[in-house]
Amino acid sequence: MEPEDITPLPINGELDLHTFRPNEIKTLIPDYLDACMEAGIEEVRIIHGKGTGQLREGVHRLLERLPEVASFQLAPEWHGGWGATIVHLRQDASESSAD
């Protein structure tokens, strides 16, 4: 893929995984969360869809290992229900990783 084919993601606290391949989430999600932290965004909504649950489970396994994630849970029904996950980012993660 040529660099000009890449459309930058808006850093707005919402990441819709429908346009990405499952093997891309391992780098996409940490990079997106880091960009959100740099932009001062403390809560991120990751839309993984309802489907079979495999993508949701993969997202949750990844989030459990990321130091910048303070907590996460399925979104309230009005915000996507079990088709989205709300991630709360640590306020101090960028400071502690610089030490």
Residue 9 falls within a domain, yes or no?
no
Q: The CATH number of the domain where 58 resides is what?
A: 3.30.1370.110
The Cα–Cα gap between 53 and 67 comes to 24
Asked if residue 82 is part of any domain, the answer here is yes
In the chain, the number of structural domains is 1
Range of the domain at 73: 14-98
**How many angstroms separate the Cα of 6 from the Cα of each of 1, 3, 17, 20, 63?**
8, 6, 15, 12, 25
Residues 22 and 19: their CA atoms lie apart, in Å, by 10
pLDDT at 93: 52
**What is the model's pTM?**
0.84
In a domain, 93, yes or no: yes
Dump pLDDT digits (tens) for 31-53.
Answer: 999 999 999 999 999 999 998 99
